[in-house]
Amino acid sequence: MLKNFGQFLEQQRMEAQLSVSELASLAGMAETRLSDWEQGAGEPPNFDACYRLGQVLTARSGRGFIVQDLWQALRADKLEASF
């Protein structure tokens, strides 16, 4: 389950004023995959996907360190799942 990652991703997308479709298109990924992640479902993203999402969100919001924050949220989900 991708609870931390999904919530953080959705929050950042909304702050950047992007729809799921727009973010997916700009990051070069499937809209359904992005939607699944925001809902805490699906296979966890790899670093490349986090990087692409972070780059788009950073460019739109002007906020730094989004890639690192996405990766940390994903790491937190993995740690929670291991218990």
Looking at residue 19, which CATH number applies to its domain?
1.10.260.40
Return d(Cα 12, Cα 69) in angstroms, integer.
Answer: 10
3-state secondary structure of 44: coil
Q: Is the whole-model pTM more than 0.85? A: yes
Return d(Cα 65, Cα 51) in angstroms, integer.
Answer: 10
Host domain of residue 38: 3-81
Q: Sort residue 64 into left (φ over 0), alpha (ψ -120 to 50) or beta.
A: beta
Burial tier of 40 (Cβ tally within 10 Å: 0-12, 13-18, 19+): middle
Domain count along the chain: 1
- Print pLDDT tens along the chain (83 aa): 688 999 999 999 999 999 999 999 999 999 999 999 999 999 999 999 999 999 999 999 998 899 999 999 999 998 888 87
